[in-house]
Amino acid sequence: MTLRLVFAGTPEFAVPTLRAALASGHDVVAVYTQPDRPAGRGRQLAPSPVKQLALAHGIDVRQPETLRDTDAQAALQALAPDLMIVVAYGLLLPQAVLDIPKFGAWNVHASLLPRWRGAAPIQRAIEAGDPATGVCLMQMRKGLDTGPVLLRSVTPIRDAETSGALHDRLATLGANLVRDGLGLLGAGLLPIAMPQASEGVVYAHKLDKAEARLDWTLSADALARRVRAFSPWPVAEADIAGERVRIHRATALEREHDAVPGSVLGAGVDGIDVACGSGVLRLQSLQRDGGRPLAAADYLNARPGLRA
């Protein structure tokens, strides 16, 4: 059967899934996305990545400030959707909205639920040192990422992988799950909804820019994970011999020392070595205020006094 789909999403992470829905052979009758927001140096209103793709395909785009009011809910009801697909939409969907589509609403969530429910699952998985993560296709229920899981895909977190790189891989995996789920539903087969375990619930709290400040008393391993987790945003930062810099790439070294955490132990073409609570963090890509990211060797050309 051909399904009437409504898609709700906003950022780049949702784009591959919208592409999958458009290519599924089902009818995407409308796309919901957040209102245009100021962006860039000129702070001009800019459409979301999802809106841009929807308009390019001639899809009806709707941008309500909220879905809590009855007018917005009536407009959705009038679309007579069979299914709503939600990916990083950014607006709360009340139960009245979830009840409108015949088959409810599916959500793509970038973690292995119930671990890392919430706003920043990709970053928190890297920061915590998880060996693997994945994507869940979840039947939406009232509550924060609490619904039963329909399909899931698991992937290892690669060595030195940043949140930006993992984001892109998980976006593709999420699109594949939606493709598979739509294939089943279109054939009249409902994916089996598996309730989430009551144990192992962990919340991925929203990133705060203040977290980007590195605490040198932590271990080098913890700081290296934080650098990866906070790339491309908010980007780790620290004082290096009196200068505030942003750190885009770093590696933990297992090296014993008795130096004060935050001390520069050495600097050369391979990087700048900084003492941590345990181990040493080698900074490999740094950015000065107002500048662009530089390899450590290029940064040292501007600060030759740091060289070993």
Range 228-234, long-range pairs (CB < 8 A, 24+ positions): 228/126, 228/160, 228/161, 228/162, 228/163, 229/123, 229/124, 229/126, 229/127, 229/162, 229/163, 230/123, 230/163, 231/162, 231/163, 231/164, 232/162, 232/163, 232/164, 233/207, 234/207, 234/209
Is 111 within any annotated ligand binding site?
yes
Q: In 199-242, which ranges are E strands?
A: 202-204, 236-240
Is 234 within any annotated ligand binding site?
no
Residue 194 Cα distances to 84, 137, 242, angstroms: 19, 11, 53
Quick one: how far is CA 73 from the chain centroid?
28
Q: Which has the closest alpha carbon to 232: 123, 90, 109?
A: 123
155 Cβ contact list (under 8 Å, min separation 6): 132, 133, 134, 169, 170, 173
Tell me the C-alpha distance between 51 and 302, whole Å.
43
Binding-site positions for (6S)-5,6,7,8-tetrahydrofolate read: 111-114
Residues of each annotated binding site? 111-114
